[in-house]
A and B are shown apart, each in its own frame.
Chain A
Amino acid sequence: MTTQINENQFDATELEAQFAATIKAKDRIEPRDWMPEKYRKTLVRQVAQHAHSEIIGMQPEGNWISRAPSLRRKAILLAKVQDEAGHGLYLYSAAETLGATRNELTEKLIAGKQKYSSIFNYPTLAYTDVGTIGWLVDGAAICNQVPLCRTSFGPYGRAMIRVCKEESFHQRQGYELLMTMMRGTEEQRASVQESVNRFWWPSLMMFGPPDDDSPNTEQSMEWGIKTHTNDELRQKFVDMSVPQAEALGVTFPDDGLKWNEERGHYDFSTPDWDEFWAVVKGNGPCNEQRVAHRKRAWDEGAWVREAALAFAENTAADAADTDTAADTDTANTADTTNTTAEETAK
């Protein structure tokens, strides 16, 4: 008895050491590897939040599918929003390798127990916002997500490689829409500037609170879940965006934005962190609307999901009776073939 306890203790120490060595060597932790419970919990929270962001993120742009101003733009937008559903699928699958289920995570989202990126709590007020979201919001998301391709948990990192590839395609599409509009009429150019004015600050807030106000960063960096701090990524985003705006012919709504020769970076003003926290805490312009939309879709789809389960059980029972299982397993499997926006474009 005593021996066994000692062995377990020894094993636990050994496992922790192995885990730490894997992290240190920047290798991947895989689902069947031992991991500290807190690491698992942190990851489930982060991956779920990321998956929810993809799914909630379908709504602001989805708002303009029916009103897209050309058939080509309608196809591009529908394919993009569809890609986001696909990203949600991969990420929920990554979370499932940690023992969470899609149903349970969705229930937590609609109960307000898990969050998603606050950027989606801002409204889309013009078709132009589709372009601005592609350029700035997807751009900021890529800055955040590229380092996650090297995150320590294998399934998450691999999902992120595909997500990033598609996101960078979306970003180009968004920028291309704005470029095209800038070549159009005076009203179109004014619409681009107006849209950029609304999305610039919320995009900067996507990197999260300042480092001295970000309690989870240190542990996440130690575990290799996170590889850069919020402020580092925010600076990088500003530095990349300014020349881009110049090429486009728009300005950012910040008088404090100027090149700092000494630092080798752009200086910029402090985002309105009161607004950030108000939106995070549920008082953003669209928080309730976004969650209510997701809840309605989920609730109204409940009878369909139940029917699919019942059908699978009924046909499995029939198959057992007749001993011919061959044609029953695919009957209610929806086609999940996801033609990406990029593939649609070819």
Chain B
Amino acid sequence: MTNEPSIHVDHDEAGANIEHGDHENAYSGLLVNDAHWAFGTDFEDPLAGVDTTVPSGVDPKDLAAYCLMLGDDALVFSQRISEWCSSAPDLEEDIALANIALDLLGQSRLLLARSAAADPSLVPQLPEGSPVPDEDRLAFFREDLAFRNVRLAEVPNGDFAEAVAKILIYSTWRLAIFERLQSSRDSVLSAIAVKGVKEMSYHRDFAGRWVLTLARGTEESKTRLLTALEGLWPLWGELFETHPVEASVAAAGIGVDPAEVADEAGVILDQVFAAAGIERPERGALAGVRGERGRDGLHTEALSKMLADMQVVARQYPEGQW
């Protein structure tokens, strides 16, 4: 019956042992500036040490705009999913949704940093001497009209069926793009895609299994799932519209033309629907305004409200240290 707490020995980044003992003193080491602290003890450029030279044959402005599009998708969708925290149907789902939001947040940080490195003129100006890093200037100091995410990423959350349907649609689309993006001529984008493919395979799997569960669970869960898919379906078409920036980076071997993955993504989604015994919704695509959609900075009413909340503290301290 004896089971005394053992001494846990961890290793810091330098390989030295860190003895936690049994934490008798909650404050031991609190002031020690070691590498074991969360995310280091200071902001570190997520692309530190990475060669961010723009490959030949592509306009750096196009590369930056493209990274901003992908980065905004991930950032805005992560923000929406993180709203689930402490409100999911059970603890396991709360943890899983937080994992997905964290993965997307990590992707967005890399993409925004890549964007800023490729075209510094995109980054909002702050008072001289402001320590706010580029990724945060882009995330917190742009207006909604400057966000380039697809509208699917920003629509307000519904019930849990809406959450899994939206994650399934997003990750099926994005995975098809990232699989191709792995061979981008831009080594930064390629590395981001390799990491993202692993993460989003899990997101798609999580969402796919829940779609199956809800479709074949109770009458209520099936009805809710169908309602959610019906509501989201008008946003599907926009995912495969080619923006001129996407056409340009695709032609340069840097990015992916989303229109090229439409069939592939559709087939995968249909496989999930078939396994779930449900039909693909039949609804027309959501129109834009004068032909402009999310990629052009034309959003739903929900985005500026979401940003007002997301950006409020950062804007209160334009010279703040975080």
Contacts and interface: CB of A to CB of B under 8 A. Distances in A.
Contact of B38 (A55, A173, A310, A333): A173
B23 A168 contact: yes
A82 B209 contact: no
B318 to A, nearest CB: 9
A180 to B, nearest CB: 5
B202 A165 contact: no
Contact of A165 (B20, B88, B216): B20
B48 interface: no
A85 B95 contact: yes
Contacts, number: 266
A208 interface: no
A70 interface: yes
A66 to B, nearest CB: 5
B22 interface: yes
A336 B96 contact: yes
A158 B22 CA distance: 12
A146 interface: yes
B3 A345 contact: no
B216 A311 contact: yes
A58 B85 CA distance: 8
Given A66-B309, A71-B135, A307-B217, A165 B25 contact: no
Interface stretch (A4-12, A38-46, A149-157): A149-157
Interface in A44-70: 55, 58-59, 62, 64-70
B220 A78 contact: no
A70 B89 contact: no
A169 B99 CA distance: 19
Given A89-B91, A339-B99, A240 B105 contact: no
A185 B128 CA distance: 14
A157 B3 CA distance: 9
Contacts of A344: 102
B68 to A, nearest CB: 14
Given A69-B140, A303-B224, A334-B210, A146 B89 contact: no
Nearest to A58: B86
With a 10 A CB-CB cut-off, give which of B1, B209, B216 has the most chain A CB atoms. B1
A62 B116 CA distance: 29
Given A69-B314, A304-B90, A339-B102, A164 B38 contact: no
B2 to A, nearest CB: 5
With a 10 A CB-CB cut-off, give which of B75, B205, B210, B309 has the most chain A CB atoms. B210
Interface stretch (B26-34, B234-242, B249-257, B282-290): B26-34
Contacts of B88: 297, 301
Contact of A85 (B5, B79, B91, B133): B91
Given A86-B95, A146-B24, A334-B210, 15 more contacts: A66-B309, A67-B310, A69-B140, A78-B82, A81-B86, A177-B322, A184-B319, A185-B320, A303-B218, A304-B90, A306-B218, A307-B218, A334-B92, A334-B209, A339-B102
* 6 shortest interchain CB distances as A-B pairs: A301-B89, A307-B217, A184-B321, A307-B221, A304-B89, A82-B98
23 contacts: A59-B86, A67-B312, A69-B317, A70-B136, A74-B82, A76-B39, A78-B82, A78-B85, A78-B98, A78-B105, A81-B86, A82-B85, A88-B91, A168-B23, A176-B41, A180-B321, A237-B26, A240-B27, A304-B160, A305-B89, A306-B221, A334-B90, A345-B39
